Amino acid sequence: MIKPHGSETLNSLLITDSDQLQQLHSEAESLPSIILNSAAAANAVMMGAGYFNPLTGYMNLADSLSVAENLHTEDGLFWPVPVVNLVKDAPGIEGASRIALRDPNTEGNPVMAIMDVSAIETVSDAQIKIMAEHIFATLDPEHPGVATFTGLGNYLLSGDIQVLSLSYFQADFPDTFRTAGEIRDEIAQRGWHKVVAFQTRNPMHRAHEELCHMAMERLGADGIVVHMLLGKLKQGDIPASVRDDCIRKMVELYFPANSVMVTGYGFDMLYAGPREAVLHAVFRQNMGCTHLIVGRDHAGVGDYYGAFDAQTIFAEKVPAGALEIEIFNADHTAFSKKLGRVVMMNEAEDHTKDDFILLSGTKVRQMLGDGIAPPPEFSRPEVAKILMDYYQLENA
């Protein structure tokens, strides 16, 4: 199986030994504590679940700036996005060597990690802007990722962590949420060797479904891991539970048995386009996939990124040998009325836009809200029914 990024074996920071877990929970009660923001909590979940291997904790300022500007930590580890714990203030923890980190997304704010504090550093507004501009390629405050990152605070807490909880994800998504190690184990159990990952924060329509079939066929893959984001999205995006139902119905009806794993991970969407595509590659390698589908405007939002920037970054910015996972570059896929099937648009000769069935997200949402199913060439009717039920309930 493909090796994890940066190490021979997967380094999960989640404490699973019951005696040690009980001891750490008892210790946490006597420690100074802070309530994390959602971004820092998501980073803790990803470290605990092994997706951010080989990181052992939150980055300090020097590493954060180095990663933002140069795509590697100061000691040379390739990494695409700073993994930080930024706070607006740090009352009660000055001088503490060990603190408890509390979950902002679970009632009662239980302890989710214990941190060995290496440093509490003040980050200037100029340094925040430097990092944001490198991560998101813009400083536009309307960009959701920029708005979130620049509003996290100016105090940077760095140090190793021990993760006691993966927040609400295991309880809320017991059939879908999986750690990187659990996915590796299932890949091995299924006897898969060449494995494709498909990232999604949306329900999968016909174009996505066929793209997965294309990638599997062209690569000669044993299986595909549909890996959906279960954390926070922007307002208006479809909830994870609805997306989960849609994807499972599609897989049940339109994929061969033992060819798809439907899984999810606990992270907040960054909307960082190219940088986030590289981050996606890192944690898909960590969970054992050999290939990642990177499509048009992967992890993008609005018009901030070029259609294929998330593909060209791998050739232009990722050093040779930095990652073992390979990228399957894909164009926009759509149903061709001429050919009677879904195709990659750049591979369809003698086609104009009128030869494809293309619907905007706004148009699709309006149709679903009105109880009108999109054409079957665009969305499987069984999937459309789940989405219509959701939108009609929302609009009731």
The catalytic residues are 201-202
The dihedral region occupied by 340, where left means phi > 0, alpha psi between -120 and 50, and beta the remainder, is left
Reading the block at residue 363, the tokens are 């148009």
Q: What one-character DSSP code corresponds to residue 265? A: E
Q: Sheet harboring 341-344: ordered strands across?
A: 341-344, 333-336, 356-357
Contact between 162 and 58 (Cβ < 8 Å): no
Q: Which helix (H) or strand (E) holds 86?
A: strand 86-87
Nearest Cα neighbor of 112 from 207, 19, 37 is: 37
Contact between 63 and 15 (Cβ < 8 Å): no
Q: Which residue has the tokens 């040779």?
A: 320
Count of helix runs (H) and strand runs (E) in the chain: 13, 15
Q: Residue 48's Cα: distance from chain center in Å? A: 15
Alpha-carbon span 24 to 15, nearest angstrom: 9
> Is the bond preceding 274 in cis, omega lying within 30 degrees of 0?
no
Alpha-carbon span 216 to 224, nearest angstrom: 7
Q: Which residue has the tokens 């119905």?
A: 249
Q: Which residue has the tokens 């970054």?
A: 313
Exposure of 252 in the CB half-sphere (CA atoms within 13 A): 8
Reading the block at residue 263, the tokens are 């899984």
> Under DSSP, is residue 336 helix (H, G, I), strand (E, B) or coil?
strand
CA dihedral 236, 242, 246, 247 (to 10 degrees): 90
Reading the block at residue 304, the tokens are 């901030």
Helical spans, DSSP H, in the chain: 18-28, 38-48, 61-70, 125-136, 144-150, 169-172, 180-190, 206-219, 240-254, 274-286, 309-316, 361-369, 381-395
